[in-house]
Amino acid sequence: MNTDDQTKGALGRETMQISWKVEYSLGVAEMDAEHVRMIEMMAKLESVDGRPDALRTVGKVINELVDYVEIHFKHEEDLMEKAGYPHLERHRAQHKVFAQKVLDMRSRASLDARTVHQFLQQWLGEHILKADRDYVPYVQLWLDNRGAEGGLE
């Protein structure tokens, strides 16, 4: 980290906080709601970057992320399974790799907000905006066919 970065914080104080954008939406409401939570965690990381209390907050975000990943991935995988998504195992493998990386992060003594933020930014771009989009037609069709029954149970 150079001096300039230390002065203004690794993410840059002037950087706008990340917020939910319509292009992040998959059009599957329950998955979108859960992805919003991840965006909120990223915004939290941005807000503490460069502050004295950053270390503790980053630790809290990583703990939150561990719980989030377990619940969200199970939810998503259940949905793909019910919808008969043909590439479920490939998708599940990506989730497993990500979940392991989150656990690895938690086992480290300290991580800066920027590192965790970049990790989530990469997941957003490479997984949520690509791999997740691939299951959408299958899940939407399954949801449509459930009709008035509604719910994901």
Q: Which residues bind Fe ion (CB under 5 A)?
A: 76, 132
**Residue closer to Fe ion, measured from CB, 46 or 132:** 132
Q: Which residues contact 150 (CB under 8 A, 6 or more apart)?
A: none
Closest approach, Cβ 23 to Fe ion, in A, equals 17
Report in angstroms the alpha-carbon separations of 21 from 26, 39, 61, 122, 151.
Answer: 11, 10, 21, 16, 25
Task: Please report, for residues 56, 66, 93, 135, the alpha-carbon distance to residue 97 in angstroms, rounded to integers and kept in the order given.
Answer: 25, 13, 6, 19
Query: Which one, 31 or 105, has the nearer CB to Fe ion?
Result: 31
Which of residues 11 and 31 has its CB atom nearest to Fe ion in the complex? 31
Cβ 149 to Fe ion, closest distance in Å? 24
Question: CB 4 → Fe ion: shortest distance, Å?
Answer: 36
